[in-house]
Structure 1
Amino acid sequence: MGVCTTLYDEICQGCGRTLGEVSNWVFFSQEEKDSVWKRIRADGTAMRFQRQVKNT
């Protein structure tokens, strides 16, 4: 994505995942990943999804 940053926050401002979700992402099942993305989309604060809304 090129927008991830968890330097000073527990939640990445770019993708909206928690530090734990980012670091363990490769071990998540597809269902777990889908659940995370659903939560992030509902929250609507991650830059990743704000960009998609602006571009469409």
Structure 2
Amino acid sequence: MLFAARESETMTQPVNNRPDTPCVAVCSTLFDDICRGCGRTATEVSHWVSMSQAEKDAVWDRIIREGYPRRKI
């Protein structure tokens, strides 16, 4: 239960307190359409550094809604 509470706190942080990337080093984009760790598509992963902040925020909003990233604290 403690883990769930900590994870919930991390994923509901204000936008300005989010990590630089949703990556959790559990990459599966070579085999899956959506990464099992962060919830991004292979295209989103490969273009992350060149995406605008608005594009990144849209990805963050979607993956958080879908229960990602699966980050261990």
Aligned Cα RMSD in Å? Answer: 1.5
Counterpart CA distance in 1 for 2:36 and 2:69 is: 6
Instruction: Count how many residue pairs are aligned between Structure 1 and Structure 2.
Output: 50
The corresponding residue for 1:13 is 36
* Aligned-pair identity (%): 56
List structure 1 segments (4+ residues) > 4 angstroms apart after TM superposition: none
Residue 25 of structure 1 aligns to a residue whose secondary structure is helix
- Normalising by structure 1, what TM-score? 0.74
User: What is the Cα deviation at residue 5 of structure 1?
Assistant: 2.1
Q: Name structure 2 gaps, 5 residues minimum.
A: 1-23
**TM-score w.r.t. length of structure 2:** 0.59
